[in-house]
């Protein structure tokens, strides 16, 4: 009976979000409380379970997501993202312009949320299209594939960070493994797949023009832009690798390393550096920079609430004992846990549309199996991240952003965008499967 309740709960969650258009956080909250009652959790325990669910997940990742949003907002507002894009276009030239745009999307996509990166970079795509008279979808898809992959696979984006917290994975190692998967996924879904799209016609961009630097502030240089935007990745990778290289560190050195390599401290250091290099050093006052940071927190408020809602659902599953029962059932299935996690996430993604909601919902179902089956938690994070990108279609805002910006028919949007997302998802799963044989 417990399994039936869980399935009904997931169906109701999907219907509330996709059909009745109820906010994802409120949907999570309603379904979690309803499931808790149906699963027999004492009524007086439910409020405590809700609070524990929010606290258990938000305590570890709020700082990372908020600081990451502030950094990304400053990278965009300062002109650093555009500077990186211009450098890549100049570096690769017309012949390899796709590769230049793809790398730009990857670098810019690390600190920026997907929606911001999309709006910021699409005008660049059309400026290249107009200058060199090239097909827009053929040129632009590699860049957008890179943006999508960073959103689904790599910290400090909200979904990967939340999954790292839920599964108790190492953030630095997840980042390194995610980058290993991202490279082939972006290449296959970007430049390789785009060769089949040269004949897809698109109209001019008509929505949301990029906000230009008015000239009131200086524009950061090439090295400054690149280092400031990617500093969190650099520090996380260094912090992860050093213990494997310097194995004879004394106690105090190890303690200092543990502090400065902690993800929240890494993000704080990166933000402090960017506050000077992209803010004060470019003529902005501290008050103006803080205003940028306030706007950034407004942008991610609902994302934080959605993640909190998923934590409540997870806590209800644990409190009722259903998580353990699900793990026992899943262990008997002739499907590897990594594949099962990807499959559950992909199904929810197709039904709901939101990659973040799909990954976090699936995590609450598949989590108990990770420990019991001895699955590497970082690989499970990446498996769910890959599944969350599967087949974007009409219930996904990213689908409509792409369609409207490029002025495509529904058929051509499915043929380009939806297939690209599916390739990214499947290649990600294949990469996770291969890595599981070595890790």
Q: Output the pTM of the full model.
A: 0.82
Q: Which residue has the higher pLDDT, 236 or 194?
A: 194
Give the tens place of pLDDT for each residue, 305-343. 988 998 898 899 888 888 777 777 777 888 999 999 999
Report cis status (omega within 30 of 0) of the bond before 29: no
Instruction: Name residue, tokens 């997501």.
Output: 65
Task: Check residue 208 and give its pLDDT.
Answer: 34
Structure tokens at 66: 């908020």
Give the tens place of pLDDT for each residue, 157-178. 989 999 999 999 999 999 999 9
Torsion of CA 242, 381, 429, 3, to 10 degrees: 160
Residue 323 φ/ψ region, left for φ over 0, alpha for ψ in the -120 to 50 degree band, beta for the rest: alpha
Give the tens place of pLDDT for each residue, 117-143. 887 788 778 877 877 788 999 999 999
Closest of 436, 398, 430, 383 to residue 159, by C-alpha: 383
Task: Check residue 360 and give its pLDDT.
Answer: 92
Give the tens place of pLDDT for each residue, 260-279. 988 899 999 999 999 999 99
Contacts of 74 (CB under 8 A, 6+ apart): 80, 271, 274, 275, 278, 279, 289, 292, 293, 296
Contacts of 59 (CB under 8 A, 6+ apart): none
Task: Check residue 204 and give its pLDDT.
Answer: 57
Calculate the average pLDDT of the chain.
88
Task: Check residue 155 and give its pLDDT.
Answer: 87
CA 95 – CA 276 distance, rounded (Å): 37
CA 136 – CA 251 distance, rounded (Å): 56
Task: Check residue 363 and give its pLDDT.
Answer: 92
Q: How confident is the model at residue 400 (pLDDT cuts 50, 70, 90)?
A: confident
How far is the first Cα of the chain from the last one, in angstroms, to the nearest whole number?
A: 37
Structure tokens at 108: 């810019």
Task: Check residue 252 and give its pLDDT.
Answer: 86
Task: Decide: 230 and 238 in contact? Cβ < 8 Å.
Answer: no
Contacts of 135 (CB under 8 A, 6+ apart): 129, 197, 198, 199, 200, 201, 202
Contacts of 351 (CB under 8 A, 6+ apart): 14, 18, 395
Number of residues written out for the chain: 439
Task: Check residue 245 and give its pLDDT.
Answer: 85
Task: Decide: 144 and 126 in contact? Cβ < 8 Å.
Answer: no
Q: What is the mean pLDDT of residues 226-253?
A: 87
What is the per-residue DSSP string for 115-131?
Answer: HHHHHHHHHHHHHHHHH
CA 39 – CA 203 distance, rounded (Å): 53
Task: Check residue 161 and give its pLDDT.
Answer: 94
Structure tokens at 153: 């696979």
Task: Decide: 188 and 144 in contact? Cβ < 8 Å.
Answer: no
Q: How confident is the model at residue 215 (pLDDT cuts 50, 70, 90)?
A: low
Task: Decide: 144 and 402 in contact? Cβ < 8 Å.
Answer: yes
- pLDDT > 70: percent of the chain: 97
Task: Decide: 307 and 42 in contact? Cβ < 8 Å.
Answer: no
Task: Check residue 1 and give its pLDDT.
Answer: 79
CA 78 – CA 80 distance, rounded (Å): 6
Closest of 193, 178, 233, 176 to residue 102, by C-alpha: 193
CA 284 – CA 318 distance, rounded (Å): 48
Q: Which residue has the higher pLDDT, 156 or 41?
A: 41
CA 324 – CA 368 distance, rounded (Å): 6
The residue extents of the domains of the chain are 2-198+217-436
Mean pLDDT is lowest, of 56-60, 146-150, 258-262, 387-391, for: 56-60
Task: Check residue 203 and give its pLDDT.
Answer: 64
Give the tens place of pLDDT for each residue, 358-370. 899 899 889 888 8
Task: Decide: 387 and 429 in contact? Cβ < 8 Å.
Answer: yes
Give the tens place of pLDDT for each residue, 34-75. 999 999 999 999 999 999 989 877 876 788 889 988 998 999
Task: Check residue 207 and give its pLDDT.
Answer: 39
CA 107 – CA 104 distance, rounded (Å): 5
Residue 407 φ/ψ region, left for φ over 0, alpha for ψ in the -120 to 50 degree band, beta for the rest: left
């Amino acid at each position: 009976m417990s399994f039936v309740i869980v399935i009904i709960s997931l169906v109701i969650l999907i219907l509330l979000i996709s059909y009745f258009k109820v906010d994802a956080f409120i949907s999570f909250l309603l379904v979690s409380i309803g499931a808790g009652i149906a699963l027999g959790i004492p009524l007086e325990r439910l409020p405590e379970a809700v609070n524990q669910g929010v606290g258990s997940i938000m305590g570890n990742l709020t700082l990372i997501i908020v600081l990451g949003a502030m950094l990304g907002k400053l990278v965009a507002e300062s002109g650093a993202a555009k500077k990186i894009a211009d450098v890549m276009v100049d570096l690769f030239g017309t012949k390899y312009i796709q590769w230049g745009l793809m790398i730009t999307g990857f670098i810019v996509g690390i600190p920026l949320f997907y929606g911001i990166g999309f709006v910021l970079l699409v005008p660049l795509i059309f400026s290249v299209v107009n200058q060199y008279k090239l097909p827009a979808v053929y040129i632009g898809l590699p860049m957008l594939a890179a943006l999508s992959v960073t959103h689904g696979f790599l910290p400090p984006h909200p979904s990967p960070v939340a999954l790292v917290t839920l599964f108790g994975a190492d953030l630095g190692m997840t980042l390194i493994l995610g980058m290993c998967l991202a490279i082939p996924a972006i290449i296959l879904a970007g430049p390789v797949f785009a060769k089949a799209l040269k004949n897809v016609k698109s109209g001019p961009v008509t929505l949301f023009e990029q906000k230009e630097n008015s000239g009131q502030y200086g524009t950061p240089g090439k090295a400054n832009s690149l280092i400031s935007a990617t500093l969190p990745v650099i520090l996380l990778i260094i912090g992860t690798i050093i213990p494997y290289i310097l194995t004879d560190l004394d106690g105090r050195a190890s303690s200092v390393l543990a502090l400065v390599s902690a993800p929240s401290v890494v993000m704080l250091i990166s933000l402090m550096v960017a506050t000077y290099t992209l803010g004060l050093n470019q003529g902005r006052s501290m008050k103006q920079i803080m205003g940028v940071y306030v706007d950034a927190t407004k942008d991610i408020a609902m994302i934080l609430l959605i993640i909190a809602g998923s934590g409540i659902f997870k806590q209800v599953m644990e409190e009722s004992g259903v998580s353990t029962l699900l793990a026992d059932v899943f262990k008997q299935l002739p499907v590897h846990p990594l594949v099962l996690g990807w499959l559950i996430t992909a199904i929810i993604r197709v039904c709901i549309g939101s990659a973040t909601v799909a990954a976090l919902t699936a995590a609450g179902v598949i989590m108990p199996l990770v420990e019991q089956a001895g699955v590497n938690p970082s690989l499970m994070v990446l498996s769910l991240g890959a599944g969350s990108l599967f087949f974007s279609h009409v219930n996904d805002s990213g689908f409509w952003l792409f369609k409207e910006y490029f002025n495509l028919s529904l058929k051509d949007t499915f043929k380009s965008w939806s297939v690209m997302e599916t390739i990214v998802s499947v290649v990600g799963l294949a990469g996770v499967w291969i890595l599981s044989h070595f890790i």
